[in-house]
Amino acid sequence: MIKAVRGTRDLLPPETALWNFVEATVRDVFRAYNFHEIRTPIFESTQLFSRSVGEETDIVSKEMYTFLDPTPHELLEGYLALKEGREPSGKLLPMDILLGSQSVTLRPENTAGVVRAYIEHKLWERGLNKLYYIGPQFRRERPQKGRYRQFSQIGAEVIGPASAGSESPARDAEILELLATLLDRLGIETWTLQLNSVGCPNDRAAYNEALRKALEPVVGQMCSDCQRRAVTNPLRVFDCKVPADQPIIDKLPRISEFLDGPCRRHFEQVQEILKSVGVEFQLNDRLVRGLDYYSRTAFEFTHGALGAQNAILGGGRYDGLSESLGGPSAPGIGFAIGEDRLVLALKESAEAVQRKPDVYIAPLGEGMNKEAARLARELRRHDVVADLGDETFRLKKSFETASKLGARFILIVGENEVKADAFALKTLESGEQVSVPRAELAQRIQSGH
């Protein structure tokens, strides 16, 4: 038997109803904040991610699905042609294909793609852009509950020139307030907002230096990942999940002591607005986030019921990202919600969200399928959710199917009913049955009794 690939899964009903409910709610909330949807490709040039997310991150160093665009056959032919000093047959292969610059990667996150599109389509000409996306992301992580190799993120970015206000602490606060509203609207009650500022590149250089010094005498007792991070990018030490390393990490210097005046003020203003709108938060100066491009505000929302993988969403400011990708200065802030985890947190309500059929139409006897189809068409046009049986089914089987589907009514379509143009409508729960003229059916079914 062929099964879904490890780390991927099928989303089946009734859970899909919950996904639709989440996405519809999210779209509603985004509309109220004047965000618009963007859809970027699922694969991009590998360079986009190595340059924006950062070579040293776990995502880029170990988790990306990367492949060369030419097929192995094309590559081999190109290689042989070059070696033998002749023109390659078939598709001409320039040298750079052989050197791997045609390498593509399934997106592990969506911010890089959005910022690439911002630069490519000169979106700054519109001033401040408030964009959101919903879609699959791919990371080759060890699968476990709440962690998949294909997962979906709902995210948003506010990006634009500083003159349009993109740098303002008001943007950070607006994003955080939007998220609080969204989680409340979805009925997720027990969330916690963890908030930090990771400063600007200058602050981080000084902080990295301090971390490096503090790590020197102790790094020998830490895990091999931390030993590598201590040399390449000490800030990443905070990503470490090894329990034995935590007491050492706890004693390291804190980023909050290294913020310069403007960063400190920016962070204070974000907090002031949050207090003014009544969004609660916890300061957490160990929160540095896994990606290289963050500056100033960094945040995470966690949810108690999710266990080890308790981060539902993360985000922050990335003021230098556009420039690092060759674009103009475009300060921005964004977040990505793990949709799988959001749905996991809502799972108990899955049944409630699923719309059951209002009516199960049971054609009874030869020639009745066409009559039932006509009725179904009329009812569905009136927004009745209808499901259909088959004229070969005995009445008993139709009743069983209707109850299994959770239909409210069963509608019997037999020869006598067709002649009278009035149909037997039975409420499954009470067993009450009435004869209803065709013209009154839709209204009767919609009224629910």
Which residues contribute to the site for ligand AMP (CB under 6 A)? 109, 139, 141, 146-148, 151, 153, 290, 311-314, 336, 338, 340-341
CB of 185 to ligand AMP, least distance (A): 18
CB of 109 to ligand AMP, least distance (A): 5
Phi, psi of 14 (to 5 degrees): -85, 0
Q: Report yes or no: 293 and 332 within 8 Å, Cβ to Cβ.
A: no
- Pairing of β 332-338 and β 359-363: unpaired
Nearer to ligand AMP, 151 or 258 (CB): 151
Cα–Cα dist 200/295, whole Å: 5
Nearer to ligand AMP, 65 or 79 (CB): 65
Nearer to ligand AMP, 7 or 414 (CB): 7
The contacts of residue 431 (CB under 8 Å, 6+ apart) are: none
Around 205, how many Cα atoms within 13 Å sit in the side-chain half-sphere?
A: 4
CB of 339 to ligand AMP, least distance (A): 8
CB of 111 to ligand AMP, least distance (A): 8
Cα–Cα dist 38/120, whole Å: 13
Nearer to ligand AMP, 155 or 331 (CB): 155
Cα–Cα dist 278/184, whole Å: 13
Tokens for 5, please give them: 């690939």
Cα–Cα dist 145/164, whole Å: 42
Q: Report yes or no: 159 and 52 within 8 Å, Cβ to Cβ.
A: no
CB of 340 to ligand AMP, least distance (A): 5
Nearer to ligand AMP, 270 or 336 (CB): 336
CB of 241 to ligand AMP, least distance (A): 13
- For the chain, the farthest-separated pair of C-alpha atoms sits apart, in whole angstroms, at 93
Nearer to ligand AMP, 159 or 386 (CB): 159
